[in-house]
Structure 1
Amino acid sequence: MGLYIGLDIGTTSTKAFLYDEKGKIRGGSQSAYALLVPEAGRAEQRPDELLDAVVDAIRGAMQDAKAHADDISAVGISAAMHSLMAVDRDGHPLTPLITWADNRSIGQVNALRKGREAGKLYRATGTPIHPMSPLTKLLWFADREPELFKRAAKFVSFKEYLLHRLFGRYALDLSLASATGMLDLHTLKWNDSALHLTELSPDRLGEIVPITERLSGMDRKLADRMGLHPDTPWIVGASDGALANVGVGALGKGETAVTIGTSGAVRSFADRPATDPDGRTFCYAFEPDRWLVGGPTNNGGIALRWYLEKFVIDEEEGESGDLKEKQALDRIVKLADSVPPGSEGLLFLPYLSGERAPYWNADARGAYFGATLHHGRAHFGRATMEGVLFAVRTVSDALTELGGANRTLLASGGFAKSDIWTQMLADLSGTQVVVPDTYEASAFGAAAVAMKADGAIGDYADMKSGIGILRTHEPDSGRFKTYEQYYSLFKRVYEQLEPVFPEIAELQRGTGVNEEEASENGHSKPKSADK
């Protein structure tokens, strides 16, 4: 049947979908796993648990599509950025997988920012100096675990670990390599300053390959578990962010992808490297003639979910579990729609878990500002939704300054299911918002890369005509004018609070509040890290 598997390895689950050559989904499956928080500021996973999830998701998708091994032309891989783990000479894990959400290297980040090296590294690599970065995680290992640092044969991402288990190669695609903070944007090789800073030689890092790199000769046992032939080609693919742009068709100038799921991101492609003089955005290589420019926000749908869980859902009547949460979400969104833009003078800074772009401030914290006796549940609900979008706009504005105005925002992620929230984005940004019908954009992007590598398409634009449009939102000029006033105030409130964020963050770290909240938000909190 000429089917392509789009594999999307995310932070909390792995998803696999089977696509035909026209981009139509023929089957899919998902397998979840825990995010471990052994202590405040850490966010880890068990690599073999993720490996099992990959196997289960692909096997489930094959069964859902009633597909046979002969039907599969290739597998394309999307993976979350910034993960890191140490392995020994035999490829066995020496550490858990450390995720993008891990903040243990905040001390190394602060030390770097005090010197001139931080600015040089950002301009050379396009990766802001932040605890998410594998570069700063490596510095933490060198400082805090020197014996382990010396003993490790390699430091790799989960995708490299997976491909080594499948094919015996630590293949690292250009896209993920660029997000490590160690790849030079201009030479597309490991940056000398980053290598010197970490005291690593290139042979202790992965093998940089194009995103269309083709691997075959899979481990037979793992192939059998997935229902694939051992000679089924796997295409290395790219990062989930870049592939989400491909998946929604945000390929040209003025086309910007806005993804809001648990977290959020704003991204667009450029034909040359573009770093920000103020360091607000990232710039990652995708292909030799295409770069991904944008910024991630820590607090997307998780902020609204937090509001529901803490202040709404316990008082809701009805069924328990997921259904109860959906009922609460539907109700609060409808209530929020009854409140005027600006929530009648109530602002929400959504920085519940610090912030990445454009501030790169791990100590930022959430705050409601302007609350009065007049404000009720509907106001707080709308302010929470608006706060997430104000944060997204701070990133979008930085991109506009770098590369020109956004002509269209292409929406994806959980928030795109709500026409109220996507219309709010149009009104708040003053830009047309288009909601494509692409289901699971990163997985579709991974399948598109596999199709290109296999010769089924000539370019990603060939897939664009097959992407339907669910709806389009035009901005309301009156609402945009109102939002301009509140957006200006939103930014000033952040600026006023920025000097005191470190003080409250340090007090919270002393009480273990971060660890407690992670546990309450459904993440596993083991007694010790899984070694």
Structure 2
Amino acid sequence: MLVGADIGTQSLKVVILDPALRIVGQSAKCYRPSYPKPGWVEQAPTLWTDALGPAISEALSSAEVAPTEIKAMGFCGQLDGCIAVDASGAPLSPCLIWMDRRATAEIEDIPAALVRDECGLVLDPGHLAAKARWLARHLGREAAIARFHQPVSYVVEQLTGIAVIGHALASTSMLYCLDRRGYAQALLDRFELSETQLPPIAEAETCAGRINQRGAALTGLPAGLPVAVGTGDDFGTPLGAGFNAPGRVAVVLGTGEVVGGLHPVALRDESGLLETHAYPGGAFFIENPGWFSGGAVAWISQLLNVPDLTALNALAAQAPAGAAGLSFIPALTGAMAPEWQPSARGCFYGMTPAHGREHMIRAVLEGCAFAMRDVVDRLEQMGVATRSLLLIGGGAHSRLWSQMRADIVQRPAELPQRVDSAPVGAALLAAVAGGVARDLNEAVGALSDEHTEIDPSPREASAYDEAYDKYRQLFRSLRPLFVQQQSD
């Protein structure tokens, strides 16, 4: 038996997998971020460790499994968080989570080209390097900062006493050299950090260490249990859905939408739309880290008083492809496609008295899917294989939205049996770390491959092409306003 845990922004989720890697138990414990100032978003690390024991206990109970039957544990979790800890591993600060944007001054003297060339990333205050520099400047010398952690590496140290981070997570830090697979000294120097302030890097599926007495108290699991190094949810989610080889485009339809493909070589996107990360198993995940997509759907549902997904789908189905000329820019929290523009804001265009709720809902669904097409098109231009879509996450429960995506890019889409796959990906890492599987390929191969396939409809292709062109033209027309807002 294996335990997989996903340290999310809104909840900690746990699954129990049996020896055949089937889910036999699961649980979730909710918590929330805090927003102390505009642009600041924090989370107390104790929220995650306090949730572990109750969530694991509940999952074990639902599986009718004793703690002593567990062979190993693995984690995945939110990217780009930063926690300062002392020499004992105790937190000196809240976690500045992925949504936190306070560290803008910390990147002003950093060359964007250096970050792209070394890391394959876009220079951005959301990455760990900027936040670590901010914490070092603002906590003061008396804080005695020993290390900076991301959420997953923090929790692993809490359970095992070992500081270590996976290559995939390290590659999101803005301090990692893709070609050398280690920290980039030039960027460490620029951010005024040392390698000793960061966890050593290891493969995500290797054993980080074993649960110590503190870890046993936090989890309710036996001391001595192997714990995998772990990875980020951008990687654990597709991994848990069987995504471990080039060919498909992973589309994770959560509050934010992550879209990317695997490639054997570490490409850099000169356009700045996509970032390149190391991926568990050795390939590279070339992705857009996501825009407010499922969150936009939740927003329009609340705004228009739509009670549930069934009602939302029924309304959207009443409108034609192209939403009768109504366009939506999915930038409620800034744009990530067709280009990164943090000062961009969402908008509807083309509204007339003939448009109703159904058109507005359809336009939101289409606008988010058009941003997906931006990414798929760029992947194809870069030579990354994009033969089909793998739709994962809560939004994949909408058959209408799934069909829309297949139609918009004219590629088949696969819906796996389980779309909430992040904790499953974490458990696959545990399978290797605990010796249940020889490697990740064997672990992924043992997953059930049951899925629903959605074929694209050529009938809608021209309507979507026309609507997509309008979406791109609208963004270009609004760009001067976005830039002006950024400078104000």
TM-score bracket for this pair, using the shorter chain length:
over 0.9
Question: Alignment partner of 1:344: what SS?
Answer: helix
Write out aligned runs for 1:414-429 (5 A): 414-429=394-409
Residues 142 and 164 of structure 1: CA distance in aligned 2, closer, same or farther (over 3 Å): closer
Cα distance in 1 between the residues matched to 2:383 and 2:245: 12
Q: Residue 150 of structure 1: CA displacement? A: 7.4
Cα distance in 2 between the residues matched to 1:34 and 1:466: 32
Aligned to 1:266: 259
Structure 2 residue 154 is matched with structure 1 residue 161: yes
Cα distance in 1 between the residues matched to 2:268 and 2:209: 36
Residue type of the partner of 1:499?
Answer: P
Cα distance in 2 between the residues matched to 1:494 and 1:307: 20
Contact 1:434 1:469 in 2 (8 A): no
Residue type of the partner of 1:309?
Answer: Q
Cα distance in 1 between the residues matched to 2:282 and 2:90: 36
Structure 2 residue 102 is matched with structure 1 residue 122: no
Residue type of the partner of 2:23?
Answer: I
Cα distance in 2 between the residues matched to 1:38 and 1:485: 43
Contact 1:409 1:432 in 2 (8 A): yes
Q: Residue 58 of structure 1: CA displacement? A: 1.5
The more displaced of 264-273 and 215-224 is: 215-224
Question: Alignment partner of 2:71: what SS?
Answer: strand
From 163, 169, 172, the equivalent of 1:179 is 172
Cα distance in 2 between the residues matched to 1:166 and 1:87: 15
The more displaced of 420-429 and 432-441 is: 432-441
Cα distance in 2 between the residues matched to 1:222 and 1:351: 41
Aligned to 2:454: 473
Aligned to 2:482: 501
State the Cα deviation string for residues 346-369 of structure 1 (Å, max 9, x = none). 000011011335522211110001
Aligned to 2:420: 440
Q: Residue 20 of structure 1: CA displacement? A: 1.4
Structure 2 residue 7 is matched with structure 1 residue 14: no
Cα distance in 2 between the residues matched to 1:384 and 1:148: 48
| Identity over aligned pairs, percent | 29
Residues 219 and 466 of structure 1: CA distance in aligned 2, closer, same or farther (over 3 Å): closer
Contact 1:246 1:460 in 2 (8 A): no
Question: Alignment partner of 1:298: what SS?
Answer: strand
Question: Alignment partner of 2:324: what SS?
Answer: coil
Aligned to 2:37: 39
Aligned to 1:387: 367
Residue type of the partner of 2:70?
Answer: I
Contact 2:165 2:200 in 1 (8 A): yes
Cα distance in 1 between the residues matched to 2:76 and 2:8: 8
Cα distance in 2 between the residues matched to 1:498 and 1:191: 34
> Could you say what the CA RMSD is over the residues aligned between the two structures, in angstroms?
2.0
Residues 125 and 501 of structure 1: CA distance in aligned 2, closer, same or farther (over 3 Å): same
From 480, 485, 498, the equivalent of 2:466 is 485
Question: Alignment partner of 1:440: what SS?
Answer: coil
Residue type of the partner of 1:372?
Answer: T
Aligned to 2:188: 195
Residue type of the partner of 2:376?
Answer: S
Residue type of the partner of 1:232?
Answer: L
From 397, 419, 429, the equivalent of 1:449 is 429
Contact 1:59 1:225 in 2 (8 A): no
State the Cα deviation string for residues 370-397 of structure 1 (Å, max 9, x = none). 1111110100011011111111221222
State the Cα deviation string for residues 470-517 of structure 1 (Å, max 9, x = none). 42111111211211111122112112212211444677xxxxxxxxxx
Contact 2:238 2:252 in 1 (8 A): no
Residues 283 and 101 of structure 1: CA distance in aligned 2, closer, same or farther (over 3 Å): same
Aligned to 1:131: 125
Q: Residue 288 of structure 1: CA displacement? A: 7.2
Cα distance in 1 between the residues matched to 2:208 and 2:289: 30
Contact 2:153 2:163 in 1 (8 A): yes
Residues 453 and 151 of structure 1: CA distance in aligned 2, closer, same or farther (over 3 Å): closer
Residue type of the partner of 1:238?
Answer: T
Contact 1:4 1:18 in 2 (8 A): yes
Residue type of the partner of 2:426?
Answer: A
Structure 2 residue 53 is matched with structure 1 residue 55: yes
Aligned to 2:66: 68
The more displaced of 460-469 and 344-353 is: 460-469
Cα distance in 2 between the residues matched to 1:179 and 1:501: 26
Cα distance in 2 between the residues matched to 1:459 and 1:488: 44
Residue type of the partner of 1:30?
Answer: A
Q: Residue 461 of structure 1: CA displacement? A: 3.9
The more displaced of 415-424 and 498-507 is: 498-507
Q: Residue 459 of structure 1: CA displacement? A: 4.1
Cα distance in 1 between the residues matched to 2:7 and 2:284: 21
Aligned to 1:102: 100
Q: Residue 86 of structure 1: CA displacement? A: 1.2
Structure 2 residue 298 is matched with structure 1 residue 305: yes
Cα distance in 2 between the residues matched to 1:461 and 1:238: 16
Q: Residue 103 of structure 1: CA displacement? A: 1.2
Cα distance in 2 between the residues matched to 1:357 and 1:146: 35
Residue type of the partner of 2:132?
Answer: L
The more displaced of 219-228 and 290-299 is: 219-228
Contact 1:430 1:475 in 2 (8 A): yes
State the Cα deviation string for residues 274-299 of structure 1 (Å, max 9, x = none). 11121221111125732111112221
Cα distance in 2 between the residues matched to 1:367 and 1:4: 45
Residues 222 and 452 of structure 1: CA distance in aligned 2, closer, same or farther (over 3 Å): closer
Cα distance in 2 between the residues matched to 1:337 and 1:505: 37
From 204, 207, 232, the equivalent of 2:197 is 204
Residues 253 and 464 of structure 1: CA distance in aligned 2, closer, same or farther (over 3 Å): same
Residue type of the partner of 2:59?
Answer: A
Contact 2:79 2:98 in 1 (8 A): yes
Q: Residue 427 of structure 1: CA displacement? A: 0.8
Cα distance in 1 between the residues matched to 2:117 and 2:143: 29
Residues 128 and 55 of structure 1: CA distance in aligned 2, closer, same or farther (over 3 Å): farther
Aligned to 1:316: none
Residue type of the partner of 1:126?
Answer: G
Write out aligned runs for 1:311-390 (5 A): 311-313=304-306, 325-326=307-308, 329-356=309-336, 359-390=339-370
Contact 2:226 2:433 in 1 (8 A): no
Give me the TM-score of the superposition, normalised by structure 1.
Answer: 0.87
Q: Residue 148 of structure 1: CA displacement? A: 5.3
Residue type of the partner of 2:158?
Answer: R
Cα distance in 1 between the residues matched to 2:277 and 2:190: 20
Residues 357 and 236 of structure 1: CA distance in aligned 2, closer, same or farther (over 3 Å): farther
